[in-house]
Amino acid sequence: MSASTLTPDSVIIAATALIVLAGLAGLIIRPAPLSQKLAAAITLPSAVIGFCAAILMLVHRSDARYVIDWSLPFGPCEIGIDPLSAFFLLPIFLVTFCGTLYALGYWPAARNPATAPGVTFFYGLLPGAMALVVMARNGALLLVSWEIMALSAFFLLITEHTGEEVRKAGSVYLLTTHTGSAALIILFSKLHAATGSFIFPHQGTLAATGQTAALMFILALFGFGAKAGIMPMHFWLPSAHANAPSHASAMMSGVMLKMGIYGILRFLSFCPQKPLWWGGTLLVAGMMSALLGICFAAVQTDIKRLLAYSSIENIGIITTGIGMAMVGEATGNPSLVLLGFSGGLLHLLNHAIFKPLLFFGAGGIIHSTGTRIISRMGGLAKRMGTSALVFFIGSLAIAGLPPLNGFAGEFLLYVGFFREALSPVPVLALGVPALGLVGGMAAITFVKLYGIAFLGAPRSREAAEAHELSGVMIVPMWIMALLCLTGGLIPPLFLLLVQPAVAMLAPAAASGARLPASFSLFPLFGLALITAAAAVWLLTRRAIRRRGAVTAGTWGCGYTAATPRMQYTGAAFSEFWAGVTRSLSRCMTEKPAAGTVAPRTVPFSYNPEETILDRFIQPVLELAGIGCAFIRRLQHGQLHVYMLYIFITLILLTVWVR
Amino acid sequence: MQLSLMLIMPAVGALIAWILPDNRRRPLVLPVFAVIHLLLLGWVLVDTPPPSPHGWFLLDPIGKLVLSSFSILFAACAWYSVNYLRYREERSNRILCSALLLCLSAMCLVSISQNLGVLWVALETTSILMAPLVYFNHNARSLEATWKYFLICSVGIAVALLGIFFLAYSTIVARQDATLLLSSLIDDAPRLNPQWRHTAFIFLLVGFGSKMGLAPMHTWKPDAYGEAPGIVGALLAGGLVNCAFLSLMRVYQIAVATQEAATFQNALIVMGLLSMAFAAVFMARQNDFKRMLAYSSVEHVGILTLALGLGKGALFGALFHMVNNCLTKGVLFLSAGNIHRAFGSKNTATVRGAIRWVPWSGALFLTGFLAITGSPPFAPFVSEFTIVSSAFTTGNYWAGSLFLVFLAVIFIGMALTVLPVVLGAPPELEAGAARPPRDGLVAIMPLLLLMGIMLILGIWLPPPLRELLMAGARLLGGGQ
Amino acid sequence: MTDMLIHLLLVLLMPPLLLGIIGKTKAWFAGRVGAPFLQPYYDIARLLRKGSVFSSTTTWVFRAGPVVTLVSTLFAALLLPFCHHPAPIAFEGDLILFAYLFALGRFFTTTAALDTGSSFEGMGAAREVTFSCLAEPALFFAFITLARLSGSLSLTLMLNHLSISVWQMAGAALLLMVGGLFVVLLAENCRIPFDDPNTHLELTMIHEVMVLDHSGPLFGCILYGAAVKLFVLGVLFVNVIAPFSTGSSLADWGLFVLGMMILAVAIGTVESVMARLRLVRIPQLLVAASILTAFSLVLVLR
Amino acid sequence: MDSLADQLLVLSLLINFIVLGTSRLGFAVRAVAIQGVVLGLLPALIHPFSWHIVLIVILMICAKGVLIPWLITNAIRKAEIKREVEPFIGYIPTLVLGAICTALAFVFAKRLPMAAEHQGLLFVPASIATLMTGFLVLTTRRKAISQVIGYLLMENGIFIFGLLLAGAMPVMVEAGAVLDLLVAIFVMGIIMNHISREFSSLDTSRLTMLKEE
């Protein structure tokens, strides 16, 4: 291979192809354990290389385009990598790397010979398809890769299809994604009608205006938003993420949701002028998703559902950022545009780091305790110390606390909202308390998650028998955790990766406005904070050592016969919050009165409901089914009436024609 | 010469199959002659034979498409049948084998005949030949299915004949000597008498429509498809439908040649959408997966008709979709047949977790479902997307939107039937009952090949095929 | 430079004094002599010299809790200006960091509480996170109002911009805001009427119940940290209500210390004259605080 | 000559009504057979003499007049049934409907232009009317036999129209069509036999196992 062909873009494409091929090898070659290791051996290096290449393209802000003649009747098939694509390639390769490594320990072919080949295959196909999605410059190609992505995710999701719940989740997911794709098909057909070809129009050259553009925007919002999980198109997401194997959930939540965001951004990049209401819609939708998402997350009892809802929250924050930028563009406010895009994309990158970390952690817990119910865990920090540590870092990060990366992204959005607060009509200022509320609820959620799952005494036998995870599962979590720290301590580093994409989306703003200078100070604070904490920690430790410390049972306030089952459960922890927000997070709590002086055992059930799914989607489907059943009577088996149908059709058509 | 060979060879095969006494070896005749047929097909595709003396027989691009897709499907079915008939030794397969081969030659005749009269005769022959095939199982249900199938199809085809007569008479009224020759009809189409012409088109639409299974003339379909063996279902859905659609396209050729086909096209669009609507309604909560496939076939003839009505760019899609539908339906019916045999039932109440008992068939059934519902990267997506996008580019927003809505509804309905069948845990076996044998790779290979073709065509369209489709679209007046 | 030093010294040394003053005030109301002003210092010193008892269920989180809480609170103190003397650290958006440092501390305190596995501490943690979550919007609305008044996004400029003239201009708004801030101040520091720092009925407590299991030096950290938190929020409050500035810096410092003491007395008074609220009322009061501050913003807008 | 043709057509129309009116299957079959013969004669009347025509005439008379009736009567004998029991719509209403259909057929035919040589002939209305009668029988009768008869009526109707083009139609096509028709009826006969064996009756209203429930 000559030096000329060894450009980053060609390397990226090669890496993508290799990852898919590795998956294929994992499917075909037997025995399964060998093929899984082989696939990993191919995937890991290619993912690393692809990652580095993507970073190179970002920093050089280079833009590559290839035209392939694919002989399908959709015009030439164009593949391109511009900063936006390169930026979205980062999470793809990152999560692929960590997930593949993690899978070796989490889903070893030796223990699941039946399913492992399929999982390996689709775990290669999914990132490949997503890479193609971000590289596609042709509507048809994007649709194709989009559907491949959706389907591979579906097959990953139904890996354990013997479970009823899994199948239900699979169906719901499949139906949602298919409906979304229908919207996208219309969108791209409209684009084709507007531009005369399936090739994407160049940036800001889409000639559509008025109603057409509005319709396209709505279609894009629906089609891509459904995949991203923006409320209220989120209903498929929790069950899907909860029931997939954890490394698959990590891939779906960490990367696949972002493809929806990518689609929206890509579509917006076509449009020369974007009305104010576009930005407003995005902003409101994002805020709603953030608030409701985290509000639902706080009351969940299933660890993976909780994480899934928090994904909805984070997607909401990202969307908020984009909406902010759109509003800024419409009102000609470059600083808002810059802050919105930078904050949104930075948070996107961060979420792609800590969410997989948390899903890996959750997978580890499920792996070693075999339960997904938070209230059946507990005391895991003593049994799986390292995972507990990295999980703690992830929780801090996702709660948006300094000095971790979650804070960096939200900081930018805060600044954006605050700057708006100084403007004549500070409507956007409302975003500040909203974000504050989101932050507070995130704290509730993750204090509960970490505190109940990892701390205290084991709440069940499984939890008591939990074991530390193997190295291959710990290492990827460590990588993610370190990235969280890096992103928190040195946000400018991550900003370097975000800026090119922002510059592409909003060139004027990127050159015109500036980000708060404080970003460069972050490392200082972070380090100071950590060192100070470390210092105090050492001092206290010395003090404790000197005065000696004894270990005893927890102080039961005079009650001496306390058992682990008397600990505060996750449900109890969040029930207080659920009480405050009863109307929103509708939790079915059954609390029979104890009754007599000497109460018998009273059952107490607590399960948060899937509002949209249970109250809207299901009933509609039921009704449709009933209606269809009514019409089905037409097929009653009476031959002579069938004849009548033909006769009538003939007559009607004849009458119609003349 | 080659054409006559293509007509004769299967007939010879049928004769041999009839004479052979051995019920075990007889099925081997099928693959042998299927291969011979494929070879002949390759020959005629490479150098196209000239039209016959009075222009009655000619293999034009459309005919080529129908013929080749059907021959491939037939070959797959023949291969499959060898294994299948081994399971059904209790029943004599003499009639089955001979009828199948005769059907093959009749369908060749359909695809090459340029004379509407001959076309009609050939079509009627196919429907007659299918009757014993549908009745193969020889039980009350299949008997009822056969009766309904046969009567409805005969009535429909009779109506079509009247339509053909009308067309011929319209030439007489137009002061020309009556002809049924396609080429001459197309040439002086504009001069044909309008009233007669329109009536003729409607009669032909209804006639061929009832043979295609357009709603509401589709009523025989679920019964016949549900009760016939998998092979026959595949040939009905893949072959017979295409033949009927070919006849409809012949009519369409004349219609567009008249320069005033708007009404006819609208009629086509309406019928197409109606069929899709019916399919959507009947597929929801369908608990018999073979009947579900029948309705899916109704849906797809609807799509084809709609595409024909849309015209322009959609015609390319229509032709391509015809091919895709034929091959994908083959996969679906054959795998469904395997599942049916493995579980001894085709009711979703009892059939669960097929992928555990018959992994290959289960997987293929699932994949085929995804393909037929137009999910990339399979070929039907390409054709359906072409159709819908051209619907939007030509300004038929309503047709396009309804099309997508019905597709989505159908997808939901079909998914809710297919997923439980394929996935999940298979039913518990009562004590002593042996688990049915896993499906062998040899038996499944033809299905894999068909699926492979669908996959390849979905990613890369071979230039010759593309040329063929283009030429066909041009014949239909859709110059691209 | 000297200002900076004074700032640091005040932050490090003054907080426990406030507790002492509060205690004295309450004693005075109760007609007792009460503990000396410096009692809190003695307590902390004593605790630092004591040995510790750790629950067998606890992990490093339990030990890290008090430490991180203390440190993050001290850092927050560095972001605040002490009336008209700029804060050691000031930049655009430091107010966000200010809020989130408290959040960080809270996260650690509550997880540390859950680490013991005691249901009482779990209860306390649940209440703590819930109430502070509700207090969040009030604080931010107040910040928005200040930001709009001063036209800047840095605590130093925001607070130092306040002056008599500003009060005359936007008195009503500021008054509403002060009300809101006072509620936040009490709630965040778990004072009556929200919480009772020195009752021993665990079921009704929030902060105290969370630290039941801490002992020795770590408990000292907690006590000190609580004092610092009270001090910091107090500073914010005083900065708002008493934006006087005599020309000379030394006099300003005097004024500031005086202000803080008066605040402590006020808190003591409130604690002596008010009863503790029922738990269910607390969220309502916090929401009310958010509404107050929101109104103040509205007033500023018009 | 043409007047004679018209009279024959009127005769066949009358036969339609006989078929609609009668309940005795054998009678209906014979009626249809006569109709077949009558129609078989028609080409000879309207077209100048040619061997082609002769061939058609003979073919028609043999097929429609002899073979098919024989097939069906066989089936009837095998199934041992005499009369159509209780149709879905009574005989009188069917007759009325038949009348309406015939009237409609005439209206419909009026709107269609005819070639000069066929002006004022009854061919088109007669054929449409017969076709509709066929449909009527198909949709109102229970017995499989009567449905076959209905099908035959349809075929006859089509054949009447076909006469207009008899000169134009190639022999092969005609022969093929007739042959197909024969085979079709034959197959129907076979199926009927099976039905009568399976269900011990030819009542198609019993054939409703296959339906959507």
Q: Residue length, chain D?
A: 213
Q: What is the pLDDT of residue A592?
A: 65
Interface mutation target, options C89, C100, C223, chain A, most CBs of A under 10 Å: C100
CB of A73 within 8 Å of a chain B CB? The answer is yes
For the cut 70, the answer to whether the pLDDT of residue A594 exceeds it is: no
Distance CA B258, CA B252 (A): 10
Q: What is the pLDDT of residue C84?
A: 79
- As given in the structure block, the two tokens for residue A419 are 């700057």
3-state helix, strand, coil in chain B (%, to 5): 75, 0, 20
Closest by CA to A344, choosing from A274, A270, A418, A287, is A287
> A79: part of which helix (H) or strand (E)?
strand A77-81
- As given in the structure block, the two tokens for residue B4 are 């006559």
- Considering just the CA atoms, what is the radius of gyration of chain D in Å? 18
Q: How does residue A3 score in pLDDT terms, banded at 50, 70 and 90?
A: very low
Torsion of CA A628, A629, A633, A635, to 10 degrees: 70
Q: What is the pLDDT of residue A599?
A: 67
Chains A and D touch (3+ CB pairs under 8 A): yes
Q: Average pLDDT for residues A578-598, to the nearest whole number?
A: 69
For the cut 80, the answer to whether the pLDDT of residue A584 exceeds it is: no
Residue that has been written with the tokens 């393909």 in this structure: B371
B271-295 pLDDT, tens digit per residue, is 999 999 999 999 888 889 999 999 9
Distance CA B142, CA C7 (A): 96
Q: What is the pLDDT of residue B320?
A: 95
Q: What is the pLDDT of residue C212?
A: 85
Q: What is the pLDDT of residue A131?
A: 96
Q: How does residue A2 score in pLDDT terms, banded at 50, 70 and 90?
A: very low
DSSP per-residue codes, B338-380: HHHHHHT--BTTT---HHHHSHHHHHHHHHHHHHHTT-TTSHH
Considering only CB atoms, which chain C residues are within 8 Å of A379?
Answer: 57, 117
Distance CA A47, CA A96 (A): 7
Q: What is the pLDDT of residue A547?
A: 85
* B338-363 core/surface letters (b: 16 or more CB in 10 A; e: else): bbbbbbeebebeebbbbbbbbebbbb
Residue A551: count of CB within 10 angstroms of its CB: 11
Considering only CB atoms, which chain D residues are within 8 Å of A627?
Answer: none
Distance CA D164, CA B169 (A): 8
Q: How does residue D55 score in pLDDT terms, banded at 50, 70 and 90?
A: confident
Distance CA C219, CA B343 (A): 70
For the cut 70, the answer to whether the pLDDT of residue A573 exceeds it is: yes
Query: DSSP class of residue A490?
Result: -
Q: Average pLDDT for residues A362-386, to the nearest whole number?
A: 91
For the cut 70, the answer to whether the pLDDT of residue A31 exceeds it is: yes
What is the mean pLDDT, run by run of 10 residues, along chain C of 302 residues? 88 93 93 91 92 90 94 93 85 91 94 90 89 91 91 89 87 91 90 75 75 90 94 92 82 90 93 85 90 91 76
Which chain A residue is nearest to residue C222, measuring alpha carbons? A540
3-state secondary structure A151-166: HHHHHHHHHHCCCHHH
Distance CA B378, CA B37 (A): 27
Distance CA B346, CA B327 (A): 22
For the cut 50, the answer to whether the pLDDT of residue A1 exceeds it is: no
Instruction: Name the residue facing A629 among B285, B393, B463 (closest C-beta).
Output: B285
Query: What angle, 0 to 180 degrees and rounded to 10, lies between the N-to-C axes of helices A491-505 and A83-106?
Result: 130
Percentage of chain D exceeding pLDDT 70: 96
Instruction: Please give the model's pTM, rounded to 2 decimal places.
Output: 0.92
Percentage of chain A exceeding pLDDT 90: 60
CB of A584 within 8 Å of a chain C CB? The answer is no
Domain boundaries, chain A: 617-657
Say how many CB pairs under 8 Å bridge A and B.
Answer: 152
Q: What is the pLDDT of residue A389?
A: 95
Which amino acid appears at position B330 of this protein?
Answer: G
For the cut 80, the answer to whether the pLDDT of residue B302 exceeds it is: yes
Q: How does residue A441 score in pLDDT terms, banded at 50, 70 and 90?
A: very high
Evaluated on CA atoms A498, A500, A503, A506, the torsion sign reads negative
**A348 contacts A318 by C-beta, under 8 angstroms:** yes
Which amino acid appears at position C204 of this protein?
Answer: T
| Residues D211, A637: C-beta atoms closer than 8 Å | yes
| Residues C125, A452: C-beta atoms closer than 8 Å | no
Where helices occur in D111-170 by DSSP H, the ranges are 123-140, 144-164
Q: How far is CA D7 from CA B182, D43, D44, D122, D153, in A?
A: 36, 14, 14, 9, 18
> A588: part of which helix (H) or strand (E)?
strand A587-590
A45-99 pLDDT, tens digit per residue, is 999 999 999 999 999 988 888 888 888 888 888 999 999 999 999 999 999 999 9
A646's CB contacts (< 8 A; 6+ apart) are B152, B155, B156, B159, B206, B210, B216, B217
Q: How does residue A402 score in pLDDT terms, banded at 50, 70 and 90?
A: confident
Instruction: Name the residue facing A439 among C64, C103, C212 (closest C-beta).
Output: C103
Distance CA C218, CA C60 (A): 12
Query: DSSP class of residue B432?
Result: T
> A468: part of which helix (H) or strand (E)?
none
Q: How far is CA C39 from CA B68, C17, C20, C30, C186, in A?
A: 99, 8, 6, 18, 21
Which chain D residue is nearest to residue A633, measuring alpha carbons? D212
**B124 contacts B43 by C-beta, under 8 angstroms:** no
Q: Residue length, chain B?
A: 480
| Residues B424, A162: C-beta atoms closer than 8 Å | yes
| Residues A637, D207: C-beta atoms closer than 8 Å | yes
Considering only CB atoms, which chain B residues are within 8 Å of A175?
Answer: 411-412, 415
A83's CB contacts (< 8 A; 6+ apart) are A57, A58, A61, A63, A500, A501, A503, A504
Q: What is the pLDDT of residue A238?
A: 92
C178's CB contacts (< 8 A; 6+ apart) are C237, C240, C241
**B372 contacts B329 by C-beta, under 8 angstroms:** yes
If interface means Cβ-Cβ distance under 8 Å, which residues of chain D face chain A? 88, 108, 111, 135, 138-142, 147, 204-205, 207-212
Is the pLDDT higher at B103 or at A562?
A: B103
A289-338 pLDDT, tens digit per residue, is 999 999 999 988 899 999 999 999 999 999 999 999 999 999 988 999 99
Which range is least confidently modeled, B2-6, B400-404, C17-21?
A: B2-6
Is the pLDDT higher at C243 or at A558?
A: C243
Q: Average pLDDT for residues A13-31, to the nearest whole number?
A: 92
Distance CA A580, CA A638 (A): 61
Q: Average pLDDT for residues D153-182, to the nearest whole number?
A: 80
Considering only CB atoms, which chain D residues are within 8 Å of B226?
Answer: 210
Considering only CB atoms, which chain A residues are within 8 Å of D138?
Answer: 640, 643
D41's CB contacts (< 8 A; 6+ apart) are D8, D57, D61
Neighbours of chain C (3+ CB pairs under 8 A): A
Per mean pLDDT, which of A579-593, C196-210, D4-18 is the most reliable?
A: D4-18
Closest by CA to A400, choosing from D82, C97, B31, is C97
DSSP per-residue codes, B391-430: HHHTT-HHHHHHHHHHHHHHHHHHHHHHHHHHSSPPPPPP
Q: Average pLDDT for residues A252-281, to the nearest whole number?
A: 93
- As given in the structure block, the two tokens for residue A440 are 């507070």
> B111: part of which helix (H) or strand (E)?
helix B94-112
The residues in A 147-176 lying below 8 A from B, measured between CB atoms, are: 147-148, 151, 158, 161-162, 164, 167, 170-171, 174-175
CA distance B449 to chain D (A): 33
Considering only CB atoms, which chain A residues are within 8 Å of D212?
Answer: 632-633, 635-636
C74's CB contacts (< 8 A; 6+ apart) are A532, C11, C12, C228
State residue A64 phi and psi, 5-degree precision. -120, 145
| Residues D139, A647: C-beta atoms closer than 8 Å | yes
Between strands A549-552 and C52-55, the pairing is parallel
- Considering just the CA atoms, what is the radius of gyration of chain B in Å? 21
Residue that has been written with the tokens 């009655």 in this structure: B56
Average pLDDT of chain B is 90
Closest by CA to A96, choosing from A26, A145, A46, is A46
Which chain D residue is nearest to residue A632, measuring alpha carbons? D212
Distance CA A248, CA A100 (A): 10
Torsion of CA B25, B31, B37, B40, to 10 degrees: -100
| Residues A653, B206: C-beta atoms closer than 8 Å | yes
Considering only CB atoms, which chain A residues are within 8 Å of D207?
Answer: 637, 639
For the cut 60, the answer to whether the pLDDT of residue B480 exceeds it is: no
B352-390 pLDDT, tens digit per residue, is 888 888 889 999 999 999 999 998 889 999 999 999 999
Average pLDDT of chain A is 89
Distance CA D49, CA D56 (A): 12
Distance CA B270, CA B305 (A): 9
